[in-house]
Structure 1
Amino acid sequence: MRYPKLRELREAVLSLVTPAYTTRFPKEPHTPFKNYRGKPIVSDADCVGCETCANVCPPGAITFRDDKEKRIRIIERDYGKCIFCGQCEEHCITGKGVKLSDEIYDIAQFDRTVLMERQEKELLICESCGAVITTKEHLAFMHRKLGPRAFSSLLNLNVLNEQLRLARAEDIKVGVRDGLKRKDMFNIVCPNCLRKILVKISY
């Protein structure tokens, strides 16, 4: 039998008088370190459904799906895939839509469906081609961000009229038919259709 070295004896003695490096989790609560990256917490009021977080999520834990019939954008987050990298928080355009918790760290579950979260946002649909423009909350956020400069866009003016009822709908709303015309600028149309209108009336 090989006799223990002095270094090993020293470590054994020190381990008897020094506190443990690990905690007895889950029997004892664990206190995360400062700037710990825990579960992402989404604020529905501050999230505008812009898809930025899904575009930067490395494992693809965030997915977006547009339902044109119901005019909603469905956002699903799978925390079973989340690697807690913080990219969603860092790139959030509002700066408040998602924050990584420094307290919630234990999300282990036997049922993976428990780790799924679903969120819905109302969509803005082009009345001409039926394309998805963005969510209404996203456009409202851009209004607040840009201030008066936002109303250089006809789309923003038309949406503002819907909200404030500056003019009666029957006075400015004309169904898009027989191709795009000048009058269609006062409908909710996507930038692509608006460009076609401007090209038509310019040449």
Structure 2
Amino acid sequence: MDIEITTLDGKKSGKVSLSDTVFGLEPREDILHRMVRYQRAKARQGTHQTKGRSDVDRTGARMYRQKGTGGARHHSQAAPQFRGGGKAHGPQSRDHSHDLTKKFRALALRHALSTKAKNGSLVVVDDMSAKDPKTAALRGQFTKLGLQNALMIGGAELDGNFQKAARNIPNIDVLPIQGINVYDILRRHTLVLSKAAVEALEARFNGEGVK
């Protein structure tokens, strides 16, 4: 698959051939769904917790005598039905993450990349750099490219001026190649890769067969 390379100013800068084993798969929603669930579950803090009846500080004495009151029989004031009592079956701190194999996670990333390529939402730029950390200037370049909601993936090291200029633009995320992930790819409309990012991705998946 061949795709045109463009500059940030919107000018053509040649073509690059994308590997079909990385960008040419037939996207599967079930794989992408499992991967997004994995990422979102892993991101959960799991610190939500309520006090049960054994955790609240209430007297353990019987509220009133067992018989003769004409009312229901109660004992501890820490029971859930009383104000100030413990919560019944409330949430407890726990780890929400679950496992997915490394092979599956790599496959999901390739399916996410293939989704953007198939939908025509993949853009390759020659370089992600800026002379000055000026947000207005970079926003003008993005307008020329039609980028309003995009994830931008650079090389192993990001240009400092480009990163500073882009971080104030709404709906634009900038990550190094090490941070590429399925959730961020799918949550943005357009995926923008630098030439260095394309080379790094194809080197990463070199030798893996299509499954």
Superposition TM-score tier, normalisation by shorter sequence: under 0.3
TM-score relative to the length of structure 2: 0.20
Larger RCO (CA under 8 A, 6+ residues apart): 2
Q: Normalising to structure 1: TM-score of the pair?
A: 0.21
